[in-house]
Every structure is written in C-alpha cells, then in structure tokens.
Structure 1
C-alpha cells in the first residue's frame, strides 16, 4: 500500500472514500465533520439520520466506522469514525488506532482502493499531534487491507510535518 501526505482540505480530495472525523451523533458538527456535511450536502445527513434511526440509536461508538454516500464530494463514500477525546498522559491509544483499522475494514467491504484520512482526534478532541501521527501511521502500515493508497490530508504545516516525520 502506498501512503501519501497532502497539505490541504479533505473536502477537496478525489478518492474512493473520505474519512470523516465524526462526532458520535453522526449529525454533523465542527471541524472536519462540519466541513464534510456542508460540502457534501443533504444526502450525507439523510443517510446518517437513517443510521441513527436503525443501527446506531445511541450514536456511533468511539473507534467504530460506518459508511454513507459522499453526496457532492469528489468521492463515492464517506466513512464516518468517532475518535477518542484525549484525557491526558493516561489516554489509551487503542480507540484512536481502532478508528484507522475500522475505517480500512469498511473501505475493504466497499471495495475502495483510495482512502483519504484527516488527522483524527487532533482538533477539539485535543490528541497531541505527534502522538496522533505515530498512532495513525503505524496502524495504517500494519493494517491488512486491499486499499492501494492511503492519503493523509493534513490541514496545516504542523500536522503535515508531524506525519512526515513519522513516515521517515
């Protein structure tokens, strides 16, 4: 599998699947989640509401992933995953690693060959960037997947440098 880094906006990416750093409600929010819902349009929200009404009445659990249409985005699917909130030095990295593994599992089920990830949990969920990059890159490298390209789409220079340092 090829791993690439891009500095930019995930909503501008052309890929089979874009990963959304969602909140558990699946109904949109701030950051990546809000941007994907705004740019992708109402079809994403409609499918998220249907998921809430059927399988995820209490919301999507942390570390799990589920797919919807990508609406008006340049992708076939959005894979929604809920990252953990960083609680300090004792924070368990496993739920964050699970976001990447589960997103790739869903991508495989869909037949996606290219998947674009944001830096999950590094915004309002406060996961330290260098640690998040380590978890993301190491988890993706170790994953058994048919995905041919994983693209980390990083919003700023600090994130890009943290991920680049981990890939070196």
Structure 2
C-alpha cells in the first residue's frame, strides 16, 4: 500500500476509486469534508445514506459516488476528541473499518482526509499518528489496496502527516 500526502481538494481526486468521508453519525450533509463530498455528489447521496444511519463510532459504510467522478464514497465515523470517551480507539477503528469495507467493495485506491481534525477537534499530530499507524500496520492484510492518498487543506497539515509518515517508515 502506497501512502501519499497532498494538499488538495478531496472532491477533485478523479483518479481514485473512492473518497473517504469523515462522517457524522447520521451520514448527513455537514461542515468540512462531509459538506464538500455531499455537495459534489449531489442530493442523491444524502438520500441513499438514510438507509445506513445512524452509524456507530468507528463504523464505516460504502455508498455510490453519484455525481462525483469516483464510483464510491466510504463514510467513516471518528469520535469527537473532546466529547467522546475513547476517541483514539474509535479513530483507529474507523481506519480499520475503512480498509475492511474497501476490500469488500473491491476498492483499490482512495483519497482520505485528515479524519477527525476538523469539527471533531483531534490534534493533528495525534490524528496523523493514529491514521498512519493504522494504515501501515494493516497494509499486509489488504494487498489489493494499492494507494491511500491523504488530502489535507493546508501545507502545515501536510507537513505534520508527512513527518509522521517518514518517522514511522524509518522504524
């Protein structure tokens, strides 16, 4: 599994099979990544999501991409760093479930945001460590997943994730 970190708009990644949505419990249009993905996918996405909601902390589900150039959206629910009891565990579980449902759907490439760092208030360094360790530690279980592109909005966040990835690959 190749992991790359880029500054870019997650809904403008046409070369991947799926976008990962940092979803809320009801899989509804929200702020940040969820809002951008729902807006780009069109109203059919939210209507389709109704059959799956609510989802538990750490759970992930796959839906069609509708008007997106990507065939799929993986909705993964992270915890609120401030309000939930075990946010680190739930973020790691969200990464694990994202990989599991991707494999089940035949998804080989995906673009993922810095899950949890927006409205869920995860400190960027902690989120980077959990997400990247989760991907790297499970990569041998998912040999068909060839690319995870982590899309962030600003260079500072890219630098945090890239530094963590470099550090983890050195050990």
Conserved? CA contact 1:43–1:69, under 8 Å? no
CA distance in 1, matches of 2:133, 2:58: 16
Which aligned pairs between 1:43-62 and structure 2 lie closer than 5 A?
43-52=44-53, 59-62=54-57
CA deviation after TM superposition for structure 1 residue 50, in Å: 2.6
Q: TM-score, normalized by length of structure 2? A: 0.90
CA distance in 2, matches of 1:81, 1:12: 19
Please report the RMSD computed on the Cα atoms of aligned residues, expressed in angstroms. Answer: 1.4
Find the partner of 2:160 among 148, 159, 162: 162
Superposed CA deviations along residues 69-88 of structure 1, whole A, max 9, x for unmatched, are 11111211000011110128
CA deviation after TM superposition for structure 1 residue 91, in Å: 5.0
CA distance in 2, matches of 1:149, 1:98: 19
Aligned partner of 2:169 in structure 1 is none
Structure 2 residue 119 is the aligned partner of structure 1 residue 121: no
CA distance in 2, matches of 1:74, 1:130: 31
Conserved? CA contact 1:17–1:79, under 8 Å? yes
Aligned partner of 2:75 in structure 1 is 80
Superposed CA deviations along residues 75-128 of structure 1, whole A, max 9, x for unmatched, are 11000011110128x854110011111011100001011011100110111100
Find the partner of 2:98 among 95, 100, 103: 103
CA distance in 2, matches of 1:50, 1:140: 28
Q: 1:51 aligns to what SS in structure 2?
A: coil
CA gap 1:84/1:92 in 2 versus in 1, 3 angstroms: closer
CA distance in 2, matches of 1:101, 1:11: 22
CA distance in 2, matches of 1:115, 1:30: 21
Conserved? CA contact 2:80–2:87, under 8 Å? no
Structure 2 residue 24 is the aligned partner of structure 1 residue 23: yes
Aligned partner of 2:2 in structure 1 is 2
Aligned residues between the structures: 161
Structure 1's consecutive aligned runs of 4 or more residues displaced over 3 angstroms after TM superposition are none
CA deviation after TM superposition for structure 1 residue 51, in Å: 2.4
